[in-house]
């Protein structure tokens, strides 16, 4: 079970404390067991800071505390604080990635489900879309995205399998597999009735809870081959 330690302290010397944490990170490189650290500053009290440190397990946290570098840094940290820091130990019982859930809404609810009105809930009005395969590689506006999704839905009946998602900061990276049956005109190709499979990666950047920017990379050439538009083998009709 993942484990989180919350460290609460007051200090007027945060820059010194920050440098101390950088030194600890350098000294414990390759031996520390912490996987994520976040420091927050109290908006109503500029001397009040809270650090949240995540570990794979309680046992890993105890091993991290036992490092000689950790003990030395802790003593220096106490000297920089106004009083003794407090520690709260937490077992993680729920972890909901809200940006990840929003990203999933695009693939399942909007693209596959056809609920295009949800675009205004999921995407910023000035959403910027980057696509290496398009002639116009960058388009702006959720309305343009709506039209793009509508064209794909008119050309194919399709599903998305989300093979893997990675969340970091404001970004959600999705590796996906798309499976579609060609039912309508697509890039000048008349309907073939073929079932096609292609893979790709999408990066969504979030801002204020909505998708602000997206980057798309997929095997469009492979899709064109399966539709018989390029040389090589094609899927049977």
| Statement: residue 133 has pLDDT above 80 | no
Give the whole-angstrom CA distance, residue 205 versus residue 222.
27
Query: Could you tell me if 190 and 85 lie in one domain?
Result: no
Query: Could you tell me if 14 and 131 lie in one domain?
Result: no
Share of residues in the chain with pLDDT > 90 (%): 65
Give the whole-angstrom CA distance, residue 42 versus residue 48.
5
From 178, 182, 123, select the one nearest 147 (Cα to Cα). 123
Q: Choose the final residue of a domain: 68, 91, 114.
A: 91
Taking the alpha carbons at both ends of the chain, their separation in whole angstroms is: 49
State both tokens at 91. Answer: 């077992």
Residue 214 lies in a domain: yes
Q: Residue 6 pairs with which residues in a beta bridge?
A: 52, 88
From 75, 42, 47, 55, select the one nearest 5 (Cα to Cα). 55
Q: In the predicted model, what is the mean pLDDT of the chain?
A: 90
Residue 134, pLDDT score = 63
Query: Could you tell me if 80 and 125 lie in one domain?
Result: no
CA 21 to chain centre: 26
Query: Could you tell me if 35 and 128 lie in one domain?
Result: no
Give the whole-angstrom CA distance, residue 223 versus residue 20.
53
Whether the pTM exceeds 0.85: the reply is: no
Instruction: State which residues form the domain around 44.
Output: 3-91
Query: Could you tell me if 118 and 163 lie in one domain?
Result: yes
Residue 103 lies in a domain: yes
Q: Choose the final residue of a domain: 91, 115, 138.
A: 91
Residue 16, pLDDT score = 93
**pLDDT-derived band at 237, boundaries 50, 70, 90:** very low
How confident is the model over 170-191, as pLDDT tens digits? 999 999 999 999 999 998 899 9
Query: Could you tell me if 104 and 70 lie in one domain?
Result: no
Query: Could you tell me if 40 and 129 lie in one domain?
Result: no
- The count of domains in the chain is 2
Alpha helices per DSSP H over the chain: 14-27, 58-65, 68-80, 98-105, 119-122, 142-155, 220-226
From 13, 31, 35, 16, select the one nearest 69 (Cα to Cα). 31
Residue 231, pLDDT score = 57
Q: Choose the final residue of a domain: 33, 56, 91.
A: 91
Question: The domain that contains 178 carries what CATH number?
Answer: 3.10.450.50
């Amino acid at each position: 079970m993942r484990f989180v330690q919350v460290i609460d302290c007051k200090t007027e010397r945060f820059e010194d404390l920050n440098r101390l944490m950088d030194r600890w990170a350098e000294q414990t490189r390759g031996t520390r067991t912490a996987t994520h650290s976040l420091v927050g500053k109290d908006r109503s009290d500029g001397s009040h800071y809270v650090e949240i440190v995540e570990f794979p397990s309680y046992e890993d946290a105890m091993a991290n505390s036992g490092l000689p570098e950790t003990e030395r840094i802790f003593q220096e940290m106490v000297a920089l604080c106004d009083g003794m820091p407090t520690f709260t130990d937490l077992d993680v019982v729920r972890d909901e990635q809200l940006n990840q859930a929003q990203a999933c809404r695009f693939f399942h609810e909007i693209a596959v489900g056809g609920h295009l009105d949800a675009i205004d809930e999921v995407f910023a009005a000035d959403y910027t879309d980057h696509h290496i395969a398009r002639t116009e590689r960058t388009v702006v506006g959720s309305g343009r995205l709506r039209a793009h999704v509508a064209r794909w839905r008119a050309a194919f009946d399709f599903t998305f399998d989300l093979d893997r998602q990675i969340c970091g900061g404001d970004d959600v990276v999705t590796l996906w597999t798309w499976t579609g049956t060609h039912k309508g005109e697509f890039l000048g190709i008349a309907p073939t009735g073929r079932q096609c499979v292609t893979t790709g990666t999408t990066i969504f950047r979030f801002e204020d809870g909505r998708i602000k920017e997206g980057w798309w990379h997929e095997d469009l050439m492979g899709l064109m081959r399966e539709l018989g538009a390029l040389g090589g083998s094609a899927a049977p009709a």
